[in-house]
Amino acid sequence: MSDSKHDAVPSEPPPYTALSAGAPIKAPIQRPMLPLDLPVLNMLRGKRVILASASPRRRHLLAQIGLTNIEIIPSTLPEDIAKGSISPFEYVLQTATRKATHIYSREINNETRGEPGLIIAADTIVVSHMGEIMEKPRSEREHIAMLTQLRNWPTHKVYTAVVVMTPLESAVAPGYAMETAVEETVVTFDKMVTDELILAYVKTREGADKAGGYGIQGMGSILIEKIEGTHDNVVGLPLRTTLKCIEKVMTHDELADEFASSLEED
């Protein structure tokens, strides 16, 4: 009798197959990673998936879960929400929501490419120990001062808001489903970082185009002592949270039908 646990063996041996004693060591064969076989991601095969961001880091993160055929259509709306009037949490959520709805309104009636199957927007902010939203450095002098501040008051927070939208088959207003989430990560700089290291890092220009002035996914990691939360949230897109939002928004019609049926039965 066959054991069902062993029936679904992979057609290719895994890269961690043990070598027999005395076998010659060969260079590992580079195989492309298989995409996640999830129903919600399979629903998007062949559909337009739009990332409302020009960030190569977000595109790379989405590719890790199998969303490789993505259209990049950044929102051109000015990010002019008054930062002092609302909390950082509300600011980042409103900014990401505006990005998503802007691209949705532009693309929903696209006669050439058709309507989008999914729109993903995100916004990431760095918040100082005083609760101030830190922008991208505008000069080398400002960049040095920014990193010095983070070193001297080492704990700060990174918030990323994720907004996903999809058109609904039903004509019920507003005609789309939307899911949002905001994730927080606490980042602690190394208090022993020297002025010499800060200057050397600034000279690399890695953090010149990043809020807070550093990139944790690159050389900027040498400035960090620890994080509390997810690493990819600091990079710019929390994958676990994003996938949950996609799952909710893509099954919105099914959940709505189930809810309506339960009301009829009652």
Contact 162, 246 (CB under 8 A): no
Rounded CA gap, 80 and 16, in Å? 51
Sequence-ordered list of residues with C-beta below 8 angstroms from that of 209, at least 6 positions apart, any chain:
136
**Tokens, residue 191:** 């208090």
| Nearest of 142, 150, 95, 143 to residue 126 by alpha carbon | 150
Sequence-ordered list of residues with C-beta below 8 angstroms from that of 11, at least 6 positions apart, any chain:
none
Write down the catalytic residue from 80, 123, 190, 266: 123
Rounded CA gap, 52 and 192, in Å? 38
Domain 37-259 has CATH 3.90.1150.10: no
**Tokens, residue 218:** 């690159």
| Nearest of 169, 183, 176 to residue 96 by alpha carbon | 183
**Tokens, residue 246:** 């996609």
120: helix, coil or strand? Answer: strand
Instruction: Give pTM, 2 decimals.
Output: 0.82
Q: Catalytic annotation on 123?
A: yes
Contact 102, 75 (CB under 8 A): yes
106: helix, coil or strand? Answer: helix
Per-residue pLDDT of the chain (266 residues; tens, 9 = 90+): 555 555 555 555 555 555 555 666 666 667 666 778 899 999 998 999 999 999 999 999 999 998 989 999 999 998 889 888 899 999 999 999 999 999 999 999 999 999 999 999 999 999 999 999 999 999 999 999 999 999 999 999 999 999 999 999 876 678 899 999 999 999 999 999 999 999 999 999 999 999 999 999 999 999 999 999 999 999 999 999 999 999 999 997 655 444 445 445 55
